Amino acid sequence: MIALAWRNLWRARARSLLTAGVVALVVALGLALLSFTWAAVNGYFATFTARIGHLVVRVENYEKRPLVERVFPAGTRAEVLRVLPGAGVEGRLLWPALVAGERRSEPALLTGLEPGGRLARSLLKGAPLEGGAVLGRALAVRLQKRPGDLVYLYLPEALGEGSGLLPVAATVELLEKNEERAFLALPLATASRLAAPGMVSELVIFLPGVVRFSQQARLELAQRRLSAALPGGLEVLRWDQTVPGLSGMVRVFHRMMLLFVGIFFLLAALILLNTVYLSLSERVREFGLLSALGMTPGRVFLLVYLETLMLTLVGALLGLLLGGAIHLRLARGFALPPEVAESYAEFGLPPVLYGELHRQDVLLVLLFALAAALLAAFWPAFLAARLEPARALRYVAA
Amino acid sequence: MLVRTQNLAKIYRQGKVETPALRGVDLAVEAGEFTAVAGPSGSGKSTLLHLIGGLDLPSEGEVWLEATRVDRLSRAERARLRLYKIGFVFQAYNLIPVLTALENAAFVLELRGMPPRERNRRAHEALQALGMAELANRRPSELSGGQQQRVAVARALAARPRLVLADEPTANLDKKTGLRLIETMRRLNREAGMTFVFATHDPRLLEHARRVVWLEDGRVVGEERR
């Protein structure tokens, strides 16, 4: 039966090859698209986590407390490093501020960052933090301040000095324009001295080697271990808990790509259906003969299914090779065309992306191919199985 | 009694047009017979064979193969009945194009689930008996019409069915090849005890028949035993 199905497949060699080619193309495209999707997802993951860290230690009920009550001792860092040796840990201090120039003053959010740290690099895009205050470009415009000018800071309810006169070191543009209008960054030590000595609002943790969205399990493990070790009153959040909207966006993006792959396979199923149906219409008398010789309707159905599955399998294997080759190329790193990259960079997509495929993706694509074959073969197989042998043997192709 | 039909009728319907092909045929065939169903084109010969073999269902009447009422069987049951008890030889298009002569001869045995070695041995023996052993690895497209018919007979021989139904088996063959095929079938009838019922209007084949049933307009109009 298998030999018969296989040989039947190659009777109309060109048509079978063409159909297998379509399946191969769809499988390869599916894999390439998923590899690209993961590249983009990982790109966003890297950008997001560079800004907010993989894990964050905060006081409990952080969002419900006023800013001035969100601080905790910076010395907690030692405990974090004990539990997660090798992790990068950076403190961040957030405090409400009033920043004033000669003519006007503006409310701002003071952000204390560690100079040279990942948070500073990611947020300030190379602007020097050591020389004084870094202002959001919009805030600087409102205050009519430029680098080198002086600004006066007042920090209400401060536990430290509470005020100071500082030079403007640089101005930066941020993704969020609302944030940019109130952005004021200082070196953590300075911010801490002014607002709350020895305290931080967050300890942002970067785990070494976590560069992919799919490494979530490692984050969950680290979160559990750290939560168990930290004193009461503090909580540990993962990046996707800190900003659930971002992780939700990443998941929606991945599902959309799966939907596209599904649509590709639906089209492939139609082409498969056409091929199987054509083959059936050319072999009506042969099916009559098979039935006359004693092949049961169930076996006729199975024969048509076997032929379709084999054709799909050949296409899928070719597609795996082609898709695998495309993926390996993408995995070495690729850049989007400059005009595309520029517009996506605004949303945090890095300039170079790295393709990634998971075993589940490959299985899913193969499952799609199998579903397409099962879908495409059903009607022709049903028709072939229901042929009355006497009528089929009299059949003359139109 | 191997085959029995009772008041067998078949009407082909196409839209509102009804064409009667058989009108109340009563026929009985004993095991070991070499029976010809003869008559002009359109007399209902092929239809009768198709109904006996369960390839089609009658509009009226009964078909029995030994103790089995064929016309009451489901499609799958009729297929299984053919697989184990009936062999077919058609006028043309007897073989599966993608299989070799040997594979064609072994095909029914394969459907029965016989292990490859055993079925190939039996198919080879059948081909040898019909002088086709040397062409065992050829595909139908590489065989002449007569050779293809002999492979079809070899398939029936290898399967050793109770009954072989042959529908105009010599119609597309030249005289010499036709005669060889007839002799082969006759020999199998004599030596292997296979029962043959064949539809024909070939006088050469009729000469060899032990019994001839004449059909006209779907009715039995005469019978001759020799």
Q: Which pLDDT does position A301 carry in this prediction?
A: 94
The secondary structure of A117-141, three-state, reads: CHHHHHHHCCCCCCCCEEEEHHHHH
For residues A305 and A187, state if they share a domain.
no
Q: Which pLDDT does position B183 carry in this prediction?
A: 86
**Dihedrals φ, ψ of A204, to 5°?**
-95, 130
Q: What CATH number did the domain enclosing B219 receive?
A: 3.40.50.300
Query: SS3 of A189, please?
Result: helix
For residues A114 and A40, state if they share a domain.
no
Number of domains chain A contains:
2
A chain contacts of residue B50, beta-carbon cutoff 8 Å: 389-390
Please report whether residue B62 resides in a domain. no
Number of domains chain B contains:
1
Q: Which pLDDT does position B66 carry in this prediction?
A: 93
For residues A388 and A264, state if they share a domain.
yes
For residues A139 and A43, state if they share a domain.
no
Please report whether residue B57 resides in a domain. no
Q: Which pLDDT does position A396 carry in this prediction?
A: 60
* pLDDT at B194 exceeding the cut of 70: yes
- pLDDT tens by residue, chain A, 398 residues: 788 888 887 877 888 888 888 889 989 988 998 898 889 888 888 888 888 899 999 999 888 888 888 999 999 999 999 999 999 999 999 999 999 988 889 999 999 999 988 888 888 877 888 878 999 999 999 999 999 999 999 999 999 999 999 999 999 998 788 889 999 999 999 999 999 999 999 999 999 988 888 888 999 999 999 999 998 899 999 998 988 887 788 778 878 888 888 888 888 888 888 888 887 888 888 889 999 999 999 999 999 889 888 988 999 999 999 999 999 999 999 988 887 777 777 666 778 889 999 898 899 888 888 888 888 889 889 989 988 888 888 766 54
B chain contacts of residue A290, beta-carbon cutoff 8 Å: 96
Question: pLDDT grade, residue B72 (50/70/90)?
Answer: very high
Radius of gyration of chain A (CA): 31
Please report whether residue B112 resides in a domain. yes
Neighbours of A118 (CB within 10 A): 17
The range of the structural domain enclosing residue B124 comes to 34-43+76-225
> How far apart (Å, rounded) are the C-alpha atoms in residues B125 and B135?
13
Please indicate if any CB of chain A lies within 8 Å of the CB of B76: yes
| pLDDT single digits (tens) B161-187 | 989 999 988 887 777 877 888 888 888
Domain boundary among A174, A200, A226: A200
Of B106 and A282, more confident: B106
Element (H or E) spanning A222, and its range?
helix A216-229
Q: Which pLDDT does position A242 carry in this prediction?
A: 86
Residues whose CB is less than 8 angstroms from the CB of residue A169 and which lie 6 or more positions away in sequence, other chains included: A127, A128, A129, A130, A131, A132, A133, A134, A147
The secondary structure of B32-97, three-state, reads: CCEEEEECCCCCCHHHHHHHHCCCCCCCEEEEEECCEEHHHCCHHHHHHHHHHHEEEECCCCCCCC
For residues A173 and A311, state if they share a domain.
no
Largest CA distance in chain A: 102
**For B111-117, which contacts have Cβ atoms below 8 Å and span 24 or more sequence positions?**
B111/A293, B111/A294, B111/A295, B111/A299, B111/B83, B112/A294, B112/B83, B112/B84, B112/B159
Helices (H) and strands (E) in chain A, counts: 15, 13
Q: Which pLDDT does position A368 carry in this prediction?
A: 87
Residues whose CB is less than 8 angstroms from the CB of residue A33 and which lie 6 or more positions away in sequence, other chains included: A257, A260, A261
For residues A13 and A136, state if they share a domain.
no
Please indicate if any CB of chain A lies within 8 Å of the CB of B79: yes
For residues A252 and A316, state if they share a domain.
yes
Please report whether residue A236 resides in a domain. no
Residue whose pair of structure tokens reads 């966003």 in the numeric block: A44
Compute the average pLDDT of residues B70-77. Answer: 95
Please indicate if any CB of chain B lies within 8 Å of the CB of A395: no
Please report whether residue A300 resides in a domain. yes
Quote the Cα angle for A179-A183-A186, to 5°: 150
Domain boundary among A200, A223, A255: A200
Please report whether residue A224 resides in a domain. no
ipTM of the complex: 0.92
Please report whether residue A239 resides in a domain. no
Distance from CA of A285 to the nearest CA of B (A): 8
Contact criterion met (CB < 8 Å) for A296 and B76: yes
Please report whether residue B188 resides in a domain. yes
Q: Which pLDDT does position A85 carry in this prediction?
A: 93
Please report whether residue A226 resides in a domain. no
Indicate the average pLDDT of chain A: 89
Chain B residue at shortest CA distance from A292: B55
Q: End-to-end CA distance of chain B, in Å? A: 19
For residues A251 and A375, state if they share a domain.
yes
Contact criterion met (CB < 8 Å) for A391 and B56: yes
Please report whether residue A302 resides in a domain. yes
CA distances from A207 to A69, A181, A224, A387, B75 (A): 27, 31, 14, 65, 67
- A294: nearest CB among B94, B103, B111: B111
- B82: nearest CB among A7, A294, A393: A294
For residues A356 and A263, state if they share a domain.
yes
- A4: nearest CB among B75, B81, B99: B99
Contact criterion met (CB < 8 Å) for A11 and B98: yes
For residues A113 and A34, state if they share a domain.
no
Distance from CA of A288 to the nearest CA of B (A): 9
Please indicate if any CB of chain B lies within 8 Å of the CB of A296: yes
Please indicate if any CB of chain A lies within 8 Å of the CB of B96: yes
The range of the structural domain enclosing residue A35 comes to 2-47+247-394
Please indicate if any CB of chain A lies within 8 Å of the CB of B110: yes
